[in-house]
């Protein structure tokens, strides 16, 4: 029974990726058919809000999650039951709290960014309160108990769905930081462990990733397609346990000085 549920969970995730790619491709065809101007197609760039970042970045989209309705811009895909995503406030700050009880659902945001000619950068902050309980050694490529407290995704859709690529960053419990693996769901999904283990005293961690550099490291070549969406998720459906994490200040844009 558990094996059947795991198989169906894998199928559901693959179908979700295919559906998302269909939507993105259909939108691109619509824009071209009606000859919308290049100005309308381009993502509006504005100066990045103040932050301590390694790269000077022009922000295409920034999510501070400061309002109660901040999640309305995000769409949800349910794989198995529903993760509770809500805006929470504490000590003068606000963020998204994700609580999974044997559930898996992702929030995703569709955005088009040039990854072939520019240097896209994604940054965010996160914190883990509770890791899913596992009975086997934790691995990025495990086809059972493939649960992580926190994931952030960058999706590169292609005209032919089988060529699409995904970068998946995870906060693991026991996997060494910097480890890279291939998802059990698809060889075109590459994972990287950015954090491992519990944070002391509920500390938040800031992340900033040079998407092209990570893509080259994980796939062995430069991106062939543009970015079509970003996503984040907390899941615990395979272990049937619970996971709890927070996300904040998700920002995506371009490195201002591309020669860096």
The neighbour count for residue 185, using CB atoms within 10 Å, is 19
32-41, 154-163, 240-249: the lowest-pLDDT one: 32-41
User: Which pLDDT tens digit goes with each residue over 172-203?
Assistant: 999 999 999 999 999 999 999 999 999 888 89
Residue 40 lies in a domain: yes
Query: Can you tell me the distance from the alpha carbon of 150 to that of 169, in angstroms, rounded to the nearest whole number?
Result: 8
- Per-residue model confidence as pLDDT tens digits over 68-97: 999 999 999 999 999 999 999 988 899 999
Does 260 reside within a domain? no
Q: What is the CATH classification number for the domain harbouring 95?
A: 2.60.120.260
What is the structure's pLDDT at 200? 81
In a domain, 175, yes or no: yes
Question: Is residue 194 assigned to a domain?
Answer: yes
The pLDDT, as a whole number, for residue 175 is 96
Contact of 58 with 48, CB cutoff 8 Å: yes
Closest CA to 218 of 258, 140, 166, 158: 166
pLDDT at 47 over 80: no
> Could you give the number of structural domains in the chain?
1
pLDDT at 10: 62
> How distant is the alpha carbon of residue 105 from its chain centre?
12
CA distances from 30 to 23, 34, 61, 108, 113 (A): 11, 6, 23, 21, 18
Distances (CA, A) of 102 to 4, 80, 183, 209: 16, 8, 20, 30
Does this model's pTM top 0.75? My answer is yes
The whole domain housing 142 covers 2-255
Residue 188 lies in a domain: yes
Q: What gap in Å lies between CA 205 and CA 127, rounded to an integer?
A: 6
Domain membership flag for residue 7 = yes
Three-state secondary structure call for residue 260: coil
Judge whether residue 52 has pLDDT over 60.
no
């Amino acid at each position: 029974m558990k094996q059947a549920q795991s198989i169906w969970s894998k199928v559901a995730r693959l179908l979700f990726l295919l559906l998302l790619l269909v939507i993105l491709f259909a939108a691109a065809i619509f824009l071209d058919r009606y000859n919308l101007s290049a100005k309308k197609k381009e993502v509006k760039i504005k100066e990045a809000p103040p932050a301590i970042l390694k790269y000077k970045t022009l922000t295409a989209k920034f999510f501070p999650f400061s309002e109660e309705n901040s999640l309305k811009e995000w769409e949800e895909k349910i794989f198995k039951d529903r993760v509770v995503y809500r805006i929470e406030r504490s000590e003068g700050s606000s963020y998204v709290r994700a609580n999974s009880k044997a559930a898996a659902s992702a929030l995703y945001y569709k955005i088009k960014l040039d990854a072939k000619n520019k240097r896209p950068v994604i940054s965010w902050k996160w914190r883990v309160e509770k890791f899913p309980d596992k009975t086997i050694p934790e691995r990025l490529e495990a086809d059972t108990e493939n649960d992580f407290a926190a994931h952030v995704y960058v999706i590169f859709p292609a005209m032919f769905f089988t060529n699409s690529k995904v970068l998946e960053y995870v906060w693991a419990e026991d996997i060494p930081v910097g480890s890279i693996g291939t998802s059990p769901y698809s060889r075109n999904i590459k994972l990287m462990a950015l954090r491992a283990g519990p944070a002391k005293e509920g500390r938040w961690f800031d992340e900033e990733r040079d998407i092209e550099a990570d893509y080259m490291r994980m796939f062995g070549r430069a991106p062939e397609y543009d970015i079509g969406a970003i996503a984040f998720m907390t899941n615990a459906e395979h272990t049937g346990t619970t996971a709890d994490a927070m996300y904040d200040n998700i920002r995506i844009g371009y490195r201002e000085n591309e020669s860096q």
